[in-house]
Structure 1
Amino acid sequence: MSEKVARHKQPWKPEELQKLQTLAGKAKGLKEIAKALNRTEESTRDAARQHGFAISKLR
């Protein structure tokens, strides 16, 4: 079973949010951040918006 399926709709852990904040702060792109977190781009974008993190390149 692929990792993406196993993590479908899983809540974000504090460590993941910290990493998201760190990567967004380093001006990383959405694809790169999503891949590093093993999350979909949509999930990553939504979490960033919900927590007020700005991702420099949304595409």
Structure 2
Amino acid sequence: MSDKVAKHKQPWKPEELQKLQTLAGKGKGLKEIAKALNRTEESTKDAARQHGMNIAKAR
């Protein structure tokens, strides 16, 4: 199995949520954050919403 495949319906680990918060705090966009976390954009957006984080809008 390749590490490049997105984690399909896998629970978010605390360290992934921390990285999500860090990247979102730096103003990174959804695509960039999702790619860095090896997650889909939809999953990343949902996790951010569930944890009260804001992701910058694409410019």
Q: TM-score, normalised by structure 1?
A: 0.88
Equivalenced residue count is 57
Tell me how far apart the structure 1 counterparts of residues 8 and 23 of structure 2 sit (CA, whole Å): 22
User: Residue 58 of structure 1: CA displacement?
Assistant: 5.6
Runs of 4+ residues over 6 Å off in structure 1: none
Is the aligned partner of 1:37 residue 2:37?
Answer: yes
Q: TM-score, normalised by structure 2?
A: 0.88
**Runs of 5+ in structure 1 lacking a partner?**
none
Tell me how far apart the structure 2 counterparts of residues 40 and 21 of structure 1 sit (CA, whole Å): 16
User: Residue 53 of structure 1: CA displacement?
Assistant: 0.5
RMSD of aligned C-alpha atoms? 1.5
Residues 1-59 of structure 1: matches in 2 within 5 Å? 1-2=1-2, 3-4=5-6, 7-57=7-57
Deviations 1:13-59 (A, max 9, x none): 00000000000000000000000000000000000000001001168
- Code of the residue aligned with 1:28 in structure 2: it is K
Q: Could you tell me the percent identity over the aligned residues? A: 84
**Runs of 5+ in structure 2 lacking a partner?**
none
